[in-house]
Amino acid sequence: MKINKIDEKLLDYISQEKTSGEFLAKELGISRTAVWKRINKLKKYGYEIESSKSGYKLLKPDESLLPNNLKKILKTRFIGKEYIYFQEIDSTNNYAKNHPELKHGTVVLAENQIAGKGRKGRKWVSAPQKGLYFSIVLHPQIDVSQILKFSLTFPYAVKLALDKYVKNDIYIKFPNDLYMNNKKFAGILLESEIEGDQLTRVIVGIGINVNNDPEDFEGLEVPATSLKIEEGKTFNRAKILADILKYVEDIYLQCLEGHMDIISKVNEILLWKGKTVKVKDNNSELTGILIGLDQSAGLRIMTEDGEKVIYSGDLTLRTN
Ligand code: BT5
C-alpha cells in the first residue's frame, strides 16, 4: 500500500509542530475520524507519532524515508524527483518492471520486500525498516556493448556516498556487490530492456543493509553484514539515501558525457585483487588469480592456461 498525497500533507504538518486533529481535518478536507484513522495507519507503518489531547507530533521526522522528508533533503536534478514509497511490496524491481510509464529518474522504495530478488533467481533478504531497498528507473539510450561498464556506475556511486559515513574501507566485488571486512552489505540487480542495439530502459535495484542486526542474516550462505554491525552505531537512512541518489546522478552524467574513467576508478577498489578466486558461471568454473578489470570492464583472471577474461559469474575466494 502506498502513502498518498493526503498522508504526505498530514506528515508535513505534524513533522513541523504538534498539530490538532481539528486543524488537520479542516486543512485536509477530511473528518476528524479520518485523520485519526490515517494516524493509526502511519503508526502501523512504523512511524513514531505522539498523540495527545492537544494533537499529533511526528517524532524523528528527519529520519523517515517518507516522500515529504526525502524531498526536503534531496539535492538531485532528476533522480528521485518522482518518488514512489511503499511500506511493503513484493520487490521494488518488479514494480518498476510492471510500470513502463515510470519516468526517467523515478525511484521506487519499500520499507519491506517480501520477495526481494537477487541475480539469477536468488533472493534478497530485506529486514523491514532497517535497510534501504529501492529501484531507480533510467532511460539511458546507450549502446548495449557499454552495459557492463555502465553497470559499474551504481556500486561506485554507493561506495562514494557511504565513504562519508563509515570508517571501514568499502570494496566492490565483481560485478556489483559491496563488501566491508570481507562481508557483503549491499547488492545491485540491473534489469535491462533493449531495442536493437540500444539500451532503452534499465531498472537498477539497490539493496543496502544499513541498520540490520546479525539475526537478520540467519540462513544466508554468504557472510553478510550491515553498516550498523561494522561501525557500531545506527545511521539515518534518509540522509544516506539522498546522498546515494545525488552520487548516482553525478556519476551517471559524468560517465555518459565521457568525463569519468569509471573502469579505472572501480579497478582501484576491486575486492580480492591478487588473490586466488573461483568464478562459477552456469556450468563452467574457473580458478586463477584475479588481476583486475580490462578495458571493457571484463574481469581478468590468470589461470594455469593463461589469462582469461570473464564478463559474468559468481566469485568466491579459494580457501585451500
Ligand atoms: C544481489 O544479487 O546482490 C542483488 C540484490 C539486489 C536487491 C535489491 S533491493 C531493491 C531491488 N528490488 C529487488 O527485488 N532487488 C533489488 P546476488 O549477487 O545474486 O546475491 C544474492 C545473494 O546474496 C543471495 O543468494 C544471498 O546469498 C545473499 N543475500 C541475500 N540477502 C542478503 C542481504 N540482505 N545481505 C547480504 N547478502 C544477502
Any bridge partners for residue 206, and if so which?
134, 188
Residue whose Cα lies nearest atom 15 of ligand 1: it is 117
161, 80 in Cβ contact below 8 A?
no
Sign of the CA dihedral with 25 first, then 71, 84, and 200 last: positive
pLDDT over 90, % of the chain = 80
CA–CA dist 128, 111 (Å, integer): 5
Residue whose Cα lies nearest atom 36 of ligand 1: it is 224
| Predicted local distance difference test score (pLDDT) of residue 256 | 87
Q: Where are the beta strands (DSSP E) in the chain?
A: 49-52, 55-58, 83-86, 107-110, 132-138, 142-143, 170-173, 177-180, 183-195, 198-208, 276-281, 284-293, 299-303, 306-310, 314-317
- β-pairing, 132-138 vs 183-195, is unpaired
Ligand 1: atom nearest CA of 92 is 12
Nearest to 113 by CA among 241, 246, 238, 208: 208
| Tally of CA atoms within 13 A in the half-sphere of 119 that contains its CB | 16
Lowest mean pLDDT among 36-50, 76-90, 158-172, 243-257: 36-50
Other beta carbons within 10 Å of 53:
6
| Predicted local distance difference test score (pLDDT) of residue 225 | 98
- The pLDDT-based confidence of 152 (bands split at 50, 70, 90) is very high
Q: How many angstroms separate the alpha carbon of residue 314 from the centre of ligand 1?
A: 13
Taking residues 85-100, report their average pLDDT: 95
Ligand 1: atom nearest CA of 116 is 14
pLDDT above 80 (res 62): no
pLDDT in tens, 166-201: 999 999 999 989 999 999 999 999 999 999 999 999
Other beta carbons within 10 Å of 204:
26
Lowest mean pLDDT among 56-65, 162-171, 202-211: 56-65
Taking residues 144-153, report their average pLDDT: 92
Ligand 1: atom nearest CA of 224 is 36
Taking residues 3-25, report their average pLDDT: 89
Q: How many angstroms separate the alpha carbon of residue 121 from the centre of ligand 1?
A: 10
Taking residues 149-173, report their average pLDDT: 97
pLDDT above 70 (res 228): yes
| Predicted local distance difference test score (pLDDT) of residue 11 | 87
- The pLDDT-based confidence of 67 (bands split at 50, 70, 90) is confident
Any bridge partners for residue 194, and if so which?
199
Instruction: Please list every protein residue whose CB sits less than 6 Å from any atom of ligand 1.
Output: 91-93, 113, 116-120, 122-125, 133-135, 177, 184, 187-189, 205-207, 209, 220-222, 224
Nine cell digits for residue 178 = 559491496
3-state secondary structure at position 43? helix
- The pLDDT-based confidence of 2 (bands split at 50, 70, 90) is low
Ligand 1: atom nearest CA of 93 is 12
pLDDT: which is higher, 25 or 12: 25
CA–CA dist 150, 313 (Å, integer): 17
272: left (phi over 0), alpha (psi -120 to 50) or beta: left
Taking residues 52-73, report their average pLDDT: 87
| Predicted local distance difference test score (pLDDT) of residue 174 | 95
| Predicted local distance difference test score (pLDDT) of residue 319 | 77
Ligand 1: atom nearest CA of 91 is 14
**Residue of 122, 124, 126, 222 best suited for mutating to test ligand 1, as the one with most atoms within 8 Å of CB:** 124
Q: How many angstroms separate the alpha carbon of residue 206 from the centre of ligand 1?
A: 9
| Predicted local distance difference test score (pLDDT) of residue 154 | 97
| Predicted local distance difference test score (pLDDT) of residue 43 | 87
Taking residues 227-246, report their average pLDDT: 96
| Predicted local distance difference test score (pLDDT) of residue 1 | 55
| Predicted local distance difference test score (pLDDT) of residue 139 | 96
Taking residues 293-308, report their average pLDDT: 95
Roughly what angle, to the nearest 10 degrees, separates helices 5-16 and 21-28? 140
Residue whose Cα lies nearest atom 30 of ligand 1: it is 124
